[in-house]
Amino acid sequence: MPKPAQGHVIPIFFGLVAYDDTRALILSDIGGVCLVTPEGAVREAKLKLLLEKVLRAVTDLGVSHDGLKLDKFHLADDSDDDRAEQLKDIIQDLYQIMVQVSTYDSMGRSSRDVLSTEMKTLSQSLRALHTSAAPPNQLPSVPPELLEYVENGRNPDIYTREFVELVRHGNQLMRGKLNAFSTFRDVLAENMTSAMPELRDDVAQVVEATGGVPPGRRSGEQNGASSSSAAAGSDGPHTGTAG
C-alpha cells in the first residue's frame, strides 16, 4: 500500500507496470493543482521543503526520480492546514506591502520594482487561496460560444471549423499586411537613396534591421547579372567570327 508523499491523502494503488525496462506505479488521482501553473505557485523556500519531502518519499518507494519534472507534482488540498498557511502567506504579503508603501520613494526605481514584486506575490497568494477554497468538481474552462452552439442544437464541430477558418483568415490578412509593408519599405528606401544619397548608409541600416535588402545591394546584384549576360553575349559572336 503506497504511503502519502505529501499530506494525508493516500492514493489508491491499481498495479505495477513495466515498459522499456522502467517500472511505474498506477495510482489514483489525488487532485490538487500543478506546480507549474499560476494556481500552484509556491514560495521558493516552501517549495524546497515540499520537494525534499516528496523526493525522499518517492525514493523510499524504490522509484527513480531522475526524470521527474515540476509538471508531475501536484499540491493536494487534503486539510484546512493548507488554507491556514495560505492565509498566513497573505497576511505576510500585506505586511510587506505596508512596509514598502510606508518607505516608498517615488523617485527611486528600486522602490517601484520591489512594490510591484510584492503586489504580484500577493496576487499569487490570493489566487492560490481561491483555488484551494473552490469546490473540487469545477467544470473545465469552455468557451461561451461553444456552449451557445450546444444550447442551440448545433454541432460543436461547426464551431471548431469556423474558428479554424477565422484563424486562417486572420493569418492571411496579417501576411498581406506584412508583404505590403515590406514592399512599401523597399520603394521608400529606393526613393530616399536616390533623392538623398547622403542618407544611403542610414537607409541601408534601417532596411537590414527590418529584414530587407538595401537598395545598393539589389542594384549591384542586378548590374552584376547584366554585366555577366553582356559578357557572355559578346563572347558568343566573337567566337563565331574567329571560327
Q: Could you tell me the CA-to-CA distances from 149 to 138, 140, 143, 154, 197 in Å, in that order? A: 21, 17, 10, 5, 61
Q: Is the pTM here over 0.95, yes or no?
A: no
Q: How far apart are CA 175 and CA 173, in angstroms?
A: 5
Instruction: Name which of 204, 209, 208 is nearest 189 in CA terms.
Output: 204
Express each pLDDT in 194-224 by its tens digit: 999 898 899 999 999 888 888 877 655 555 5
H helix runs in the chain, sequence order: 44-60, 81-102, 109-133, 144-151, 156-195, 200-209, 215-242
Express each pLDDT in 28-47 by its tens digit: 665 566 666 655 566 666 66
> What does the block give as the cell for 55?
523526493
pLDDT in the model for residue 130: 80
Q: With 50 as the cut, is the pLDDT of residue 99 above it?
A: yes
Q: Judging by beta carbons within 10 Å of its beta carbon (0-12, 13-18, 19+), is residue 83 exposed, middle or buried? A: middle
Confidence of residue 232 (pLDDT cuts 50, 70, 90): very low
